[in-house]
Amino acid sequence: MTPSPIQTLLQRHRNGERSGVYSVCSSHSQVLRAAMDVAQRHDTPLLVEATSNQVDQFGGYTGMQPAQFRDWLWALADEHGFDRTRLVLGGDHLGPNAWQAQAPATAMAHARDLIAAYASAGFHKIHLDCSMSCAGDPTPLPDATVAARAAELAQVAEQAAAAAGLPPPLYVIGTEVPIPGGEASLQGGVAVTQPAAAAATLEVHREVFARAGLDGAWQRVIALVVQPGVDFDHSSVQHYAPAAARALSQWLEAQPRIVFEAHSTDYQRERALHELVRDHFAILKVGPAATFALREALFALAAIEAEWLPSAQCSQLPEVLDRRMCEEPRHWRRHYQGDAAELRLLRRYALSDRCRYYWGDVQVRAAVERLVANLRATPPPLTLLSQFLPDAHRAVVDRGLDTEPLALVRHHIAGCLAPYARACSANAAPR
């Protein structure tokens, strides 16, 4: 069987190259179009991962089931002129995450259906995440329980892919899995996984997979999720410190085949991304930072609009977004704390970027469409672009970047994603 592009890149990494894979975890069309631009420019595959809360058998917060997300992404690639054969679909945090409040048997029944839906839709890279405790479970879960549940889901994935006539999936495992979307607080920082803990996790998974007759699936376990000592909260970032992770990196060198998968690498310096790949954190995941860049660009365009056009004509996008977040607070209320002024700042500007859940809202979407239509109909002078989107202004002047509003948005997002492509390219140096 021909290895997938992900396997090929990771094998090259294990053979001594500084190659890696970056994973874009987003369901926003402009983020994904920007990711396609970056992959095209840097000649990389594009690994797009849907998370278990975005896309599930019930629709998730996007309203899409896995097969629908696949078809939507393929159509987006075709429309954008990106070769869909270069797309690799992945599923992130697949397990009982969305059903933690339920008893383990019920939560795992939902997780089995979730995994089957992803695998039968052709999602090739599957993150088996059973690290969370369900109702009545001990906290934290023992490694043996996590591994047993992961093997149960791997069995489902194997059967679902085979029934659909698809290549068998690649798997990512682990028990020290960072919280999706960043920490609530980084006070005290996060600790690097100890080599002994990584070794115990790997061995217990190997034993459980072997007992379950999943030897073939075990050979397709490509990565172990560990904590390299990077994370972010609402307003601060813990940056990578190579010395702190040296023992963990050295331990991996003695293990066959696998690499580390690094979650929550959002907002890291580009040099840190290169260092992570060098130190065998060869799968780099990015999510909220990309939609944070989307929000930055749209707010910048709204500021240009406010300077350029009569107020009655303007979209008032920042105000519309904040109003809808206040009217429908379920996506941020339990994550943000503070007085009214602090909450307003967090809703708009927190690094955890909870406003990413609202871009599909009917009123917010209408405000974005009005903003774009206004600036298309009456293009602003470049002086305003220089003021509010200076990097895009330089690209317009120096390289002929299109001043169409969404092209400017994608350029800004690409500035967030390009460092990941360079870090995963064997011959690229950090900028």
CA distances from 226 to 149, 248, 365 (A): 18, 9, 37
- pLDDT, residue 4, reads 85
Q: What is the CATH number of the domain that holds 296?
A: 1.10.400.20
- Say yes or no: 171 and 199 in one domain: yes
Note the pLDDT of residue 427. 79
Is 364 part of a structural domain of the chain? yes
Q: Is residue 248 part of a domain?
A: yes
Do 248 and 342 sit in the same domain of this protein? Answer: no
- Single-letter amino acid code for the residue at 129: D
For residues 363 and 249, state if they share a domain.
Answer: no
Residue 175 has a pLDDT of 80
Same domain, 105 and 167: yes
pLDDT, one tens digit for every residue, the chain (431 residues): 667 889 999 999 999 999 999 999 999 999 999 999 999 999 999 999 999 999 999 999 999 999 999 999 999 999 999 999 999 999 999 999 999 999 999 999 999 999 999 999 999 999 999 999 999 999 999 999 999 999 999 999 999 999 999 999 999 999 887 666 555 557 778 999 999 999 999 999 999 999 999 999 999 999 999 999 999 999 999 999 999 999 999 999 999 999 999 999 999 999 999 999 999 999 999 999 999 999 999 999 999 999 999 999 999 999 999 999 999 999 999 999 999 999 999 999 999 999 999 999 999 999 999 999 999 999 999 999 999 999 999 999 999 999 999 999 999 999 999 999 999 997 777 88
Domain count, the chain: 2
Which pLDDT score, from 0 to 100, does residue 142 have? 94
The answer as to whether 274 is a domain residue is yes
Do residues 248 and 332 both lie within one domain? no
Q: What is the structure's pLDDT at 178?
A: 67
- Tell me whether residue 431 is in a domain: no
Q: Are residues 172 and 252 in the same domain?
A: yes
Question: By the 8 A CB rule, do 21 and 127 touch?
Answer: no
Same domain, 302 and 374: yes
Q: In terms of DSSP bridges, do strands 259-262 and 231-232 run parallel, antiparallel, or are they unpaired? A: unpaired
pLDDT for the residue 38: 98
Residue 429 lies in a domain: no
Claim to verify: residue 90 and residue 68 sit in the same structural domain: yes
- Pair 238, 341 in one domain: no
Give the dihedral sign, CA 9/11/15/16.
positive
Residue 337 and residue 256 share a domain: no
Residue 182 inside a domain? The answer is yes
Pairing of strands 46-51, 21-24: parallel
Domain CATH number, residue 150: 3.20.20.70
Query: For position 180, what pLDDT does the model report?
Result: 60
- Domain residues for 388? 291-413
Contact assessment for residue 403 and residue 383, using Cβ atoms and an 8 Å cutoff: no
Tell whether 99 and 215 lie within a shared domain.
Answer: yes
81 and 199 assigned to the same domain: yes
In a domain, 149, yes or no: yes
Tell me whether residue 272 is in a domain. Answer: yes
